[in-house]
Amino acid sequence: MRETQGPLVGVRIVELGGVGPVPFCCMLLSDLGADIIRIDRPPGYDGGVPVDSRFNLLHRGRRSAAFDLKQPEAAGAVLKLVARADALVEGFRPGVAEKLGLGPDACLAANPALVYGRMTGWGQDGPLAQAPGHDVNYISLTGVLHAIGPANGPPVMPLNLAGDFGGGSLYLALGVVSAILESRRSGKGQVVDAAMVDGSASLMTLCYGLLASGYWKDQRGSNRLDSGAPWYNVYETKDGRWISVGSNEARFWRNTLEVLGLSEVDMPDQHDTSRWPEVHEKFAAIFRTRTRDEWCALAEGREVCFAPVLSMTEAPTHPHLRARGTFVERDGVVQPAPAPRFSRTPGAIQRAPAKPGEHTDEALRDWGFSAGELDSLRESRVIV
Q: Return the SS3 of 302.
A: coil
Catalytic option among 52, 105, 125, 134: 134
Catalytic option among 31, 40, 135, 164: 164
Residue 8 near residue 173, CB atoms below 8 Å = no
| Of 121, 143, 247, nearest in space to 205 by CA | 143
The residues with which 328 forms a beta bridge, in sequence order, are 335
User: Residue-wise over 343-365: b if at least 16 C-beta within 10 A, else e?
Assistant: eeebbbbbbbbbbbbbbbeebbe
Respond yes or no: is residue 320 known to be catalytic. Answer: no
The residues with which 88 forms a beta bridge, in sequence order, are 14, 116
What is the distance between the alpha carbons of residues 4 and 152, in angstroms, rounded to a whole number? 51
Residue 225 near residue 211, CB atoms below 8 Å = no
In this structure, the strands spanning 115-120 and 35-40 are unpaired
Respond yes or no: is residue 331 known to be catalytic. Answer: no
| Sequence-ordered alpha helix ranges (H) in 74-191 | 74-82, 96-99, 104-110, 135-141, 170-186
Residues catalogued as catalytic: 134, 164
